[in-house]
């Protein structure tokens, strides 16, 4: 069984800006928890006990290591002994791609066995036992987890697999011009089982040139070269969900899909009332849950659709929520209406504010009577009262003056 997983965290996460301007992709709040916690918890529950994080850059390193530490926090969440799970990190060596990061980690920690490689900006569920069984039985050098896209989904954003009848991968078409140019509907998920050959891959003449020229990304460079060398690359079709959450749009889609489909236990929810899911285990949290239910029953709090409410959230009378995720310690004042949106932790939403189809970053203040539509607001932002924000992105730390109108703009 797979015991070791490597998670490369390179790159700046520019597709997810402004949420990742000052935050590691792995630490972006997702269903009221850091994204990486979802990934590690799912893998650890299936027997992975050692995690190697390929951190690159200041934010990626400091934020992740400060949260995860050596693995004790994750072990405690899963009810395991503190030393049962280990989290280790890449030294401060520069890399040009995720394959180089994997090689560095395997060399540094002398890993000489097959490892699971998972990209740090995806959310998924997988049967690791079944994946390992297919990999071992096929005697593959590398197994790539594939996901079949529905017909309505845009296949031109992905690397699409060309496979034979035995699920051997013959190659990939990267971002095909149209669906007609795609050899299948099977895309590369960024999840791999890799044998230790990767430690030697960059040592021959071709590999050295690739490394010197910065051609060390699995999807774009290494996998095509591996296939051209005649190594055995197997495809494994993922049977459960998978999302690339590299953009605000895909982040929203994944959030609400999982809100509707995960169990209360997987969501860390302790109280469910209709479509409202409430988090928090303390006696204070239980009292808050009772208060919220009472407000709903009396019509003082209007709710519809699917809602996730974090710990110690303060909702005033007259608030209207529809398909909304509210993170911990957020305050929403009376008369506000929030729909199809995500409000991260420790925000203050002023009276009679309207938020539609938007993401509000952490520790953000939105003044009374403001309206935010189809926008993404970065962390620690101050929106003055009476402001109108439409189809815009606002970078972290900005101060938007009261009664401002920001439409179809990036405030960087």
Q: Which of 267, 208, 358 is nearest to 38 (CA)?
A: 267
Calpha distance 304→167 (Å, rounded) = 44
How many CB atoms within 10 Å of residue 79? 7
pLDDT tens digits for 260-279?
A: 999 999 999 999 999 999 99
Q: What is the pLDDT of residue 292?
A: 95
- Residues 322-345, buried b or exposed e (16+ Cβ, 10 A)? bbbbbbbbbbbbebbbbbebbbbb
The continuous run of DSSP H or E covering 161 comes out as strand 159-163
Stretch among 110-119, 145-154, 228-237 having the lowest mean pLDDT: 145-154
Contacts 24+ apart (CB under 8 A), 61-64: 61/89, 61/92, 63/23, 63/24, 63/26, 63/27, 64/9, 64/24, 64/26, 64/27, 64/36, 64/89
Dig out the tokens for 2 from the structure: 């797979």
Band (14; pLDDT cuts 50, 70, 90): confident
Q: What is the pLDDT of residue 180?
A: 81
Q: What is the pLDDT of residue 149?
A: 86
Band (361; pLDDT cuts 50, 70, 90): very high
Calpha distance 148→238 (Å, rounded) = 8
pLDDT tens digits for 58-117?
A: 888 899 999 999 988 888 888 888 888 999 999 998 888 899 999 999 999 999 999 999
Tell whether the model's pLDDT for residue 140 goes beyond 80.
yes
Q: Compute the half-sphere exposure of residue 303: CA atoms within 13 Å on the CB side of its CA.
A: 26
Domain 278-411, CATH: 2.160.10.10
Phi and psi dihedrals of 208, rounded to 5?
Answer: -65, -40
Band (3; pLDDT cuts 50, 70, 90): very high
Calpha distance 299→287 (Å, rounded) = 18
Mean of pLDDT over the chain: 93
Calpha distance 99→251 (Å, rounded) = 25
Q: How far apart are the first and last CA of the chain?
A: 47
Q: CB neighbours of 110 closer than 8 A, spacing ≥ 6?
A: none
Calpha distance 114→136 (Å, rounded) = 10
Q: CB neighbours of 148 closer than 8 A, spacing ≥ 6?
A: 185, 186, 187, 237
Tell whether the model's pLDDT for residue 382 goes beyond 90.
yes
Calpha distance 348→111 (Å, rounded) = 47
Name the DSSP class of 14. G
Q: Is CATH 3.40.1710.10 what the domain over 4-259 is classified as, yes or no?
A: no
Per DSSP bridges, beta strands 337-343 and 319-326 are parallel
Tell whether the model's pLDDT for residue 175 goes beyond 90.
no
Q: What is the pLDDT of residue 138?
A: 93
Tell whether the model's pLDDT for residue 11 goes beyond 80.
no
Tell whether the model's pLDDT for residue 398 goes beyond 80.
yes
Q: What is the pLDDT of residue 179?
A: 83
Domain ranges of the chain: 4-259, 278-411
Calpha distance 252→96 (Å, rounded) = 29
Q: Got the DSSP string for 99-120? A: HHHHHHHHHHTT--S-EEEE-T
pLDDT mean over 120-129: 93
Name the more confident of 58 and 344. Answer: 344
Tell whether the model's pLDDT for residue 300 goes beyond 80.
yes
pLDDT mean over 113-138: 94
Strand partners, 54: 8
């Amino acid at each position: 069984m797979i015991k070791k997983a490597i998670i490369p965290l390179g790159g700046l996460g520019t597709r997810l800006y402004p949420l990742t301007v000052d935050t590691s992709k792995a630490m972006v709040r997702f269903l009221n928890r850091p994204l990486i916690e979802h990934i590690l918890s799912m893998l650890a529950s299936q027997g992975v006990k050692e995690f190697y994080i390929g951190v690159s850059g200041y934010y990626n390193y400091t934020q992740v290591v400060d949260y995860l530490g050596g693995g004790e926090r994750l072990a405690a969440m899963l009810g395991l002994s503190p030393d049962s799970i280990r989290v280790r990190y890449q030294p401060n060596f520069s890399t040009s791609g995720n394959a180089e990061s994997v090689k560095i980690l395997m060399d540094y920690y002398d890993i000489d066995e097959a490892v699971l490689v998972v990209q740090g900006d995806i959310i998924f569920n997988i049967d690791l036992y079944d994946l390992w069984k297919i990999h071992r039985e096929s005697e593959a050098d590398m197994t790539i987890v594939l996901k079949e896209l529905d017909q309505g989904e845009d296949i031109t954003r992905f690397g699409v697999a060309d496979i034979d009848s035995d699920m051997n991968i013959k190659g990939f078409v990267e971002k095909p011009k149209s669906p007609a140019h795609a050899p299948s509907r099977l895309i590369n998920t960024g999840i791999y089982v890799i044998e230790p050959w990767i430690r030697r891959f960059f040592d021959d003449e071709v590999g050295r040139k690739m490394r010197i020229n910065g051609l060390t990304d699995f999807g774009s460079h290494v996998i095509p070269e591996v296939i051209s060398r005649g190594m055995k690359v197997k495809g494994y079709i993922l049977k459960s969900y998978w999302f690339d959450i590299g953009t605000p749009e895909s982040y929203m889609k994944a959030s609400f899909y999982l809100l509707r489909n995960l169990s209360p236990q997987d969501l860390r929810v302790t109280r469910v009332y209709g479509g409202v899911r409430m988090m928090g285990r303390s006696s204070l949290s239980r009292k808050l849950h009772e208060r919220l239910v009472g407000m709903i029953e009396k019509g003082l709090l209007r709710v519809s659709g699917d809602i996730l409410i974090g710990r110690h959230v303060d909702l005033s009378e007259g608030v209207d929520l529809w398909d909304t995720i509210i993170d911990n310690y957020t305050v929403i004042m009376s008369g506000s209406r929030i729909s199809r949106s995500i409000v991260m932790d420790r925000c203050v939403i002023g009276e009679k504010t309207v938020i539609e189809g938007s993401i509000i970053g952490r520790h953000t203040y939105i003044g009374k009577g403001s309206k935010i539509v189809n926008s993404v607001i970065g962390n620690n932002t101050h929106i003055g009262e009476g402001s109108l924000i439409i189809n815009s992105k606002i970078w972290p730390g900005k101060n938007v003056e009261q009664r401002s109108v920001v439409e179809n703009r990036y405030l960087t």
